[in-house]
Structure 1
Amino acid sequence: MNTDTPPQDYLVISRGHWDKDKTREQIDTAITDFYDWLNGHIAAGRMRAGSRLGTDRASVSKAGVTTDGPFGEAKEVVGGYWFVSAGSLREAADLLSHSPTLPCGLHYEVRPLDATVCTASDITNETAPA
């Protein structure tokens, strides 16, 4: 971790599907290696645990209607999440680039956590269009 920059927390979202050309044994090995890799980083204070996501789901719309679909395309499947502490987004991405699941088809979205409260006058990803 960069000692000149205080660490910031980043949300890691695991996405994707296992490559179809990987065997069950290759995927099982990648999963076992992933949890060893993750737990090592958690023990070192570079990551915090998150959770796998279950397969049940619901969608809630602005009309207040809750349904069991439709959902994003299969390529957008989110399998789980956890957190990384790093000095920069690049540092977090570099750390994640060593995950044992990447060669088997999964990929990660990494986003900095922003503890500030959004208002309509702030220009953020939550700001309504003008």
Structure 2
Amino acid sequence: MKYLLLKHYRGGPTPVVDHPPIDRWAPEEVDAHVRFMREFADRLVETGEFVDAQALSQEGAFVRSDGAGRPPVTDGPFAETKDLVAGWMVIDVESWERAVELAGELSAAPGPRGEPIHEWLEVRPFLTEAPSGSE
């Protein structure tokens, strides 16, 4: 079953470790964090559990139809949220438990001073069939 591991930067129900924003990390700390993420993905490629991963820019916009052909655009960084959706990883694993296990490992990516950042990851299964009209 496929799961989305949605990487939130600085957020979740209760921050475990307070760390500065990544733009204030030393270059070697950023490099170590990115290296951890790549090595984690490489390991999942070897086990056949990796599907895709992408990092997201902090720039963006909200867009919705206005019904008149001119959709309004609201600049990001996405007001109404305490954190930034930094990226995602899609995994294909045998169980919910395995998805949670991998999210826990990914949460321990290093940050400032090489310490695990314990970031919150949202784990969501892919919808495997269209919802019925009664749902």
TM-score above 0.5, yes or no: yes
Matched letter for residue 89 of structure 1: W
What pairs with 1:28-107 in structure 2 (closer than 5 Å)?
28-61=31-64, 63=66, 64-69=71-76, 71-73=78-80, 75-99=82-106, 100-101=108-109, 103-107=116-120
Give the deviation of 1:23 after TM superposition: 4.7
Percentage identity across aligned positions?
23
Paired positions, count = 115
Normalization by structure 1: what TM-score? Answer: 0.71
2:4 to 2, 6, 11: 11
Give the deviation of 1:88 after TM superposition: 2.0
RMSD: 2.7
2:129 to 110, 116, 129: 116
Give the deviation of 1:104 after TM superposition: 2.1
Give the deviation of 1:113 after TM superposition: 0.4
Alignment partners' CA distance in 1, 2:7 and 2:130 = 26
Q: 1:50 aligns to what SS in structure 2?
A: strand
Q: Which runs of 5+ in 2 are unaligned?
A: 11-17, 111-115
Task: Report the CA distance shift for 1:95/1:105 in structure 2 as closer, same or farther (over 3 A).
Answer: closer
Deviation >4 Å, runs of 4+: none
Q: Which runs of 5+ in 1 are unaligned?
A: 1-7, 123-130
Normalization by structure 2: what TM-score? Answer: 0.69
